[in-house]
Amino acid sequence: MKENIAVVPVIFKKFKGLSAKMLYGFAKMGKTRISPKHDYHYNHMQNLALVYFNITPLCNLRCRMCGQWGDKGKMKNGRIAEEIKTLVPLERYKEIVDEIAPRRPVIYIWGGEPFLYPNLMPLAKYMIDKGLYVSVNTNGTFIEEYAEQIVRDRWSTIFVSLDAFEEANDAMRGKGSYQKVVRGFEAINREKKKQNSLYPIMSIVTTVTNMNYLVLDQLAEASCSFGLDVHIFNLGTYTNDNIVARQKQYMREKLDTEVDCLAAYNTGYNLNIDGEKLHAILRKMHRTDYGHPIITVPALNPEKTHVYYADLETPVRNHCIVPWCQTDINYNGDVHFCADYPDYILGNIKTQSFAEIYNGDRANRFRKAIRESEGGMFPGCLRCYQNMLFGKKIKGY
Ligand SMILES: C[S@@+](CC[C@H](N)C(=O)[O-])C[C@H]1O[C@@H](n2cnc3c(N)ncnc32)[C@H](O)[C@@H]1O
Ligand code: SF4
């Protein structure tokens, strides 16, 4: 959708200070797109633009398409009680924030459900006090409870996941979740008014599946009254048996790594999506004034919408820049490049400095392997949302 670009002036006009921080991050990503550094001794910290903090594996919902707790979710392995013993303590997070803050990366906190990490509020505040742009991705079921503090602490952006109007949303995300989120929006709006603040920037993120694609516009209509700043439609992360098998073999051969995360996205919720119908709905929404802009990720050419869901093996983005400017810190302290596929571990922040990990041998080995791969991406990256956001658009798509 070319209309995606329309969001930029709207957001930048309303949120001048924050936009500068966001722009700084984008500029560094742009720099790595133009000239990714391949020198083994280069200090990649210079281009660190975006750091994901996945702070807990716990979640109170069981959204059906979710790679963590959905039908095929990788957290449903019965080891959760062991996993939560490995959480990174707040004090160690603070030390890592101190280390990376001078590089001014954009911060993206997520999970699991981040409100289930016991120290989310002090962690976010610490990051904001360091002058960082801090966004939090949540299922929204706890924001009513924390609204006063979220606004007081001036979180930069809150990305709330909501997939459809009430009935269809609750079929995907669990009974009662829609109303909880709506009450959360109301509470944030009340607090913004009371505290005379524009922050946080409030966004819905909607993941498109075959369960909601025909009724996306109903949510768009309803969201007019939510006081949103933007609504993002994410076309979803999907894969199939063939891609999973190729990725397993490739990662074993090139990086001695056993892959088990990708299969969690082999859910089938992409099947039977009628590209023409979906495109017509997206186009209608992009042309309607709901009082806030709409973004679709990835922005595909209209006639290619069906390819995205039906031909998963056809790349729509390639030449991923993530290993040159981003990273994901997992709840147990492991550091990876890929947020959704944490198979290849670069190091662990409980025992290493961030710079040591980000400039280390394992990081450089991954960068070299992806650079040498066909199209500058691994076989499993075909619908990875980081690649959809930060990969290079393939001509025609
Ligand atoms: C895994 S959740 C974690 C944060 C929080 N629990 C939430 O739901 O927002 C991060 C985002 O991924 C989205 N998501 C879940 N399954 C997905 C899929 N198969 N493809 C793309 N995004 C997905 C969620 O809806 C949410 O917006
Ligand atoms: S709320 Fe988020 S982490 Fe939890 S199941 Fe849903 S998408 Fe997954």
pLDDT (0 to 100) of residue 17: 78
- pTM exceeding the 0.95 threshold for the entire prediction: yes
Relative to the alpha carbon of 164, which ligand is closest?
1
pLDDT (0 to 100) of residue 159: 98
Radius of gyration over every alpha carbon of the chain, rounded to an integer in angstroms: 20
Ligand 2 is surrounded, with C-beta below 6 A, by: 59, 61-63, 66, 68-69, 111-113, 139, 161, 173
- How many residues belong to the chain? 397
Query: Probe ligand 2: pick from 54, 58, 59, max atoms within 8 Å of CB?
Result: 59
Token output for 324? 């040159």
pLDDT (0 to 100) of residue 276: 95
Walk along the chain (397 residues) in steps of 10 and give the mean pLDDT of each run.
70 83 88 86 95 98 96 89 96 98 97 98 98 97 98 98 98 98 98 97 98 98 96 97 98 97 96 96 94 93 93 96 97 98 97 98 97 96 95 93
pLDDT (0 to 100) of residue 5: 72
Query: Nearest to residue 57, comparing CAs of 114, 139, 121?
Result: 114
Query: Probe ligand 1: pick from 234, 235, 308, 381, max atoms within 8 Å of CB?
Result: 234
Pocket lining: 113 vs ligand 1, CB cutoff 6 Å: yes
Pocket lining: 328 vs ligand 1, CB cutoff 6 Å: no
User: Cβ distance 343 to 252 under 8 Å?
Assistant: no
137 sits in which H/E element: strand 134-138
Relative to the alpha carbon of 110, which ligand is closest?
1
Please give the distance, rounded to the nearest whole angstrom, from the Cα atom of residue 269 to the centre of ligand 1.
14
pLDDT (0 to 100) of residue 20: 85
